[in-house]
């Protein structure tokens, strides 16, 4: 059965990043413009119009392959208008056409994601996305896990999604963790001192440590 992987997430969660990574495999039909460019307007994605008018999706759009990857954020801009994409309707339409839909939602640190939304769009749209995904059967893609584990995480995604992936080209356009620009050192936190105390040998801690509470309970037999 043919498969359609729908990669989605809140605005700024990494939609373009994972649309590129998950469409790199030669057997996957996806957003090929992103293979050569860092960013392309979201409404120029091959399946973009179907998230506005899912009824226009036909068998012909799945004629040239077995695996397809599409991407859309919630909300997204189409032809200059902000809209909530019809992700569920596209998935249902694909299933009607004999294509198995797989929905994967990108997760990025909420604080950073909201900062990005306000920086670019002037407002936070996180709650719109969370509300939309609430009752949807989905897989989750972890933004931070990718930057930490790279190739191993991509391999994991392939197994989890049962979708072809490749490690070739995943570093294209990536020079630093996307969260890096939002992170600044915290000089001190109240918990730091307590953690350091907990790293000392038991005999050197401010308070004596008792082990009596660790003894196994006894069972009285009558």
| Better-scored residue on pLDDT, 174 or 114 | 114
Q: Residue 221: what pLDDT?
A: 55
- Strand 139-142, strand 2-10: pairing: unpaired
| Better-scored residue on pLDDT, 170 or 210 | 170
Give φ, ψ of 117 to 5 degrees.
-60, -45
Contact criterion met (CB below 8 Å) for 16 and 39 = yes
Q: Which domains does the chain have, with CATH numbers?
A: 2-161 (3.40.50)
At 170-197, the pLDDT tens digits run: 988 787 888 999 988 888 998 998 899 8
Distance CA 107, CA 14 (A): 8
Q: What is the mean pLDDT of residues 102-111?
A: 98
Tell whether the model's pLDDT for residue 54 goes beyond 80: yes
Q: Which residues of 19-51 are buried (b: 16+ CB within 10 A; e: fewer)?
A: bbbbbbbeebbbbeebeeeeeeebbebbbbebb
Distance CA 205, CA 196 (A): 10
Contact criterion met (CB below 8 Å) for 90 and 51 = yes
Q: Residue 152: what pLDDT?
A: 97
Q: What is the mean pLDDT of residues 73-95?
A: 97
Of 34, 33, 2, the residue nearest 16 (C-alpha):
34
Tell whether the model's pLDDT for residue 74 goes beyond 70: yes
Distance CA 8, CA 133 (A): 10
DSSP string spanning 155-184? HHHHHHHT-----TTTTTT-SS-TTGGG--
Q: Which range is least confidently modeled, 133-142, 187-196, 210-219?
A: 210-219
Query: pTM of the predicted model, to two decimals?
Result: 0.87
The pairs formed by 197-205 with CB atoms below 8 angstroms and a separation of 24 or more are none
């Amino acid at each position: 059965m043919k498969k359609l992987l729908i990669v989605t997430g809140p605005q700024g969660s990494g939609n373009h990043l994972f649309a590129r990574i998950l469409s790199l495999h030669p057997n996957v039909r996806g957003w090929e413009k992103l293979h050569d460019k860092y960013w392309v307007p979201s409404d120029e994605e091959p399946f973009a119009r179907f998230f506005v008018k899912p009824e226009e999706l036909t068998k012909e759009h799945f004629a040239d392959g077995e695996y397809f990857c599409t991407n859309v954020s919630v909300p997204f801009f189409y032809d200059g208008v902000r809209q909530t994409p019809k992700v569920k309707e596209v998935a249902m339409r694909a299933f009607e056409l004999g294509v198995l839909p797989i929905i994967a939602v990108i997760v990025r640190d909420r604080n950073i994601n909201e900062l990005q939304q306000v920086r670019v769009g002037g407002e936070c749209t996180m709650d719109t996305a969370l509300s939309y995904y609430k009752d949807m059967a989905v897989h989750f893609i972890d933004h931070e896990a990718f930057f930490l584990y790279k190739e191993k995480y991509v391999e994991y995604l392939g197994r989890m999604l049962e979708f072809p992936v490749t490690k070739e080209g995943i570093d294209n356009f990536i020079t630093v963790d996307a969260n890096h620009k939002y992170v600044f050192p915290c000089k001190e936190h109240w918990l730091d001192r307590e953690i350091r105390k907990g790293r000392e040998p038991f005999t050197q801690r401010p308070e004596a440590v008792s082990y009596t509470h660790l003894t196994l309970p006894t069972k009285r037999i009558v």
